[in-house]
Amino acid sequence: MDRAAHRQGERAILAKQDSRRDWSDQYWWSGDGVRLHARVYAGSDGAEHAPPVLCMPGLARNARDFELLAPHVAQQRKTIVIEFRGRGESAFAKDPMTYVPLTYVQDVVALLDELGIDRFATIGTSLGGLVSMLMATTLPGRLVGAVLNDVGPELQTSGLERIRDYIGAGGSQPTWMHAARAFSELNGAIYPHYAIHDWLRLTKRTHRLTPEGRIVTDYDKQIAAPLRMTGGEAAFDMWPVYRALGTVPLLILRGELSDILAQSAGEKMVAELPHAKLIEVQGVGHAPTLDEPEAVAAIDAWLAELPTA
């Protein structure tokens, strides 16, 4: 079986698991009055005492990023998919300077407090992984495991510049097919093996239909504002933050073609922490969608290492 057929089969299996739409909507308020949203998958019987898994998406993404993985993870334990402020069903922030990782940490902590969750694990893509590391630092002892999807304490400048160039830009498209083709032109180097049905699937995760019948990206364009500030994260050493993950089970996923997480950085991350494992997802860049068979298999192995009570 070739790679494309293998991945299509894996997605079909996960999609069948998700066909029940078995999540509930959770809304809560941030400290500065932003109404936030998450999808909550209840988990299997007998898993109610296990630390839940928080799934946190990338910069311009939302809960639909985990629409296939979350119900799969929920077969073993409660799974909560966060939508950061300004994305999906979470409201836009009045102050665009609150679109920063430390604010997202505060927002997620407010949800944990509301739900009475003490200990938890995280699966974080890109920005979601940075939030995971910061939570390990600010909530010592509460994080019991983490998946960092194509992100780490050391990021490549070329990839960051690429993201800054496109984030918050762009207009609207008249149909889903037009939007998918435009999205493929922008991201073709990230997923070079994708066919048009793959781009349609990804576009429907990342875009929405407006009341006027146009297709637009599903986030507040102002999330780009902090990224355009001079200086930025380049002067901030994230390695001490990363080391706060300590001895918890840690899975690092890296896209083979990534321009964000270099292979050398991934190898250094493994050398720094005793229970870190690096898996490279073949044929994709930043970031793996977590539908890939090797990503799913690695996450399953990681789940098996998490505490059950």
Model pLDDT for residues 254-285, shown as the tens digit of each residue: 999 999 999 999 999 999 999 999 999 999 99
Q: Which class would CATH give 3-161+238-305? A: alpha beta
Give pLDDT tens digits for 47-67: 778 999 999 999 999 999 999
Distances, alpha carbon 200 to alpha carbons 87, 119, 194, in Å? 19, 37, 10
Other Cβ atoms less than 10 A from the Cβ of 240: the count is: 10
Predicted TM-score (pTM) of this structure: 0.92
Instruction: Select the more confidently predicted residue: 220 or 19.
Output: 220
In the prediction, which pLDDT does 44 show? 77
Q: What is the distance, to the nearest Å, from the Cα of residue 133 to the centroid of all Cα atoms in its chain?
A: 13
**Is it the case that residue 19 has pLDDT exceeding 50?**
no
Q: Which amino acid is at 61?
A: R
In the prediction, which pLDDT does 230 show? 54
In the prediction, which pLDDT does 229 show? 77
In the prediction, which pLDDT does 169 show? 81
Average pLDDT value over all residues in the chain: 92
In the prediction, which pLDDT does 49 show? 86
| Torsion (CA) 152, 154, 158, 159 in degrees, nearest 10 | 10
Percent over 90 (pLDDT), the chain: 85
| CA contacts within 13 A on the Cβ side of 260 | 26
Q: What is the distance, to the nearest Å, from the Cα of residue 262 to the centroid of all Cα atoms in its chain?
A: 18
Q: Which amino acid is at 39?
A: R
Distances, alpha carbon 259 to alpha carbons 25, 67, 126, 157, 255, in Å? 34, 25, 12, 8, 9
In the prediction, which pLDDT does 235 show? 52
Average pLDDT over residues 277-303: 98
In the prediction, which pLDDT does 18 show? 43
